[in-house]
Chains A and B, each alone.
Chain A
């Protein structure tokens, strides 16, 4: 059995205790709500996209240490990045969670290098498959917010 130290790394607990970018953004910022139907956790992601850049991001909602720390690290990682970089980051992160998503037809994987940085602390989650949904909740919500922001 994998040990709890693989899951609850210090950096994760730090983001859980002191979440970054908590709050809301008023419209016209994009807003998406994500639910984990298994546990009832909810996450709000607010995105301000100007041109091709994510200029601000806020996170709200409630959840376990894994979903909350993942959301907090996600908010740090996407702020100031281009939309293309963020999409690449989402793919990198989901890949680390053993989730390989097919691209829509005609779309190619973005040719950008992104580093996961602190987010690599979450790789231990893969050893606890039940918790993968916790770690990816914020990211799936981010994709929805991104879709809203870029379709407007």
Chain B
């Protein structure tokens, strides 16, 4: 294996927990990831020694907190190779980042009849904000279809993009595990005169991310899926675009001046960070980025390709036609997230039975109901692997599936 998983697991306090004397098999990292000791310690230490308001008080403590907060922004810039730290906007999560783009850029730039192109594998976070805009502005939504193996079908991409103002797409599907050709999609968007908006929430935790190599216009992701705390996310945007957009939320910190008859917004990034931001969470995200950079994101990706290969081989070998793994079979174009059906057992029942063996996975529609309808299922079970999972976890999943058949007599 590329990564020393045993030593990585040892750094995650929660993964030491035993329930009913058995270890946890945490296979729900596409939902949210567990936190390493360094992240927990960084946040605790910050709150114990340096916590203070940022950007608004002159005393030393506040200056220290502000500096730590801005260091976190610089760490994000480095991690995704953004050109400027000021273009890194801290949000609540990827969902808020995508809403920010739809609300602020969308309302300033889209009129009735304008076209926004999405794909059929988008998360609700990259669908509903556009639906809301469509209801308000009468914009048209077009959808890039999927191939049978769960990749984007790009056959008619240029005609779909014809006349479009924006193309908003995922870099990695949270259901199918599919990794999309982001650079190619950005190029296609730009060739059509559209902006490229990338939902990178599932991608950033598992891959080397370079927003400049992508030539993207906006990139959104969440901290909590990449070993950082919940409550903070990132929207990176091209500077000229962010500067041209009206603010999103109004309040403290985002203004240069407020008068009785109006206001002037602050410069980037404060313009899009109204109110007290998630300060301690930014410190935690910084620690998570340091943790991931120490491991090396290329190594994380290689590890997950190994796990994905082992998972597909093991599950198909043991269960054949009784298991239906959705998404691509080629690990070059997929991550280690697997939605599956198993012997007609409803995913809820499956996850309940697996829980008896401490195998934690998600059952449901994964906030992707349009895709569920395409797959012709109401729900799937989803096992998602991360840097702290290894072959033993795949084996534990495979073993636990056996028990499910017994209960339902299938």
Contacts and interface: CB of A to CB of B under 8 A. Distances in A.
Interface of A: 1, 3-4, 7-8, 13, 16-17, 38-42, 62-66, 128, 131, 134
Contact of A134 (B19, B348, B356): B348
Contacts of A39: 347-348, 363-365, 378-379
Contacts of A3: 356
Interface in B375-400: 378-379
B372 A7 contact: no
A131 B378 CA distance: 16
Contact of B364 (A16, A40, A66): A40
A64 B365 contact: no
B9 interface: no
Contact of B352 (A7, A17, A38, A41): A7
Given A38-B364, A40-B372, A65 B378 contact: no
A128 B379 contact: no
Q: How large is the interface on B (under 10, 10 to 19, 20 to 34, 35 or more residues)?
A: 10 to 19
Contacts of B349: 8, 64-66
Contacts, number: 53
B248 to A, nearest CB: 26
B348 A17 contact: no
Nearest to B364: A39
Interface string B398-410: 0000000001110
B238 interface: no
B183 interface: no
Contacts of B80: none
B409 A13 contact: yes
A42 B352 contact: no
Contact of A66 (B347, B348, B407): B348
A17 B409 contact: yes
B353 interface: yes
A17 B408 CA distance: 9
Contacts of B347: 39, 64
A22 to B, nearest CB: 16
B378 A42 contact: yes
A13 B407 CA distance: 9
Nearest to B403: A4
Contact of A1 (B20, B369, B378): B20
A151 to B, nearest CB: 29
B379 A40 contact: yes
Nearest to B363: A39
B348 A131 contact: yes
B409 A41 contact: no
A125 B310 CA distance: 36
The 9 A-B residue pairs whose C-beta atoms are closest, nearest first, are A40-B365, A64-B348, A64-B346, A40-B378, A39-B364, A40-B379, A65-B349, A64-B349, A39-B379
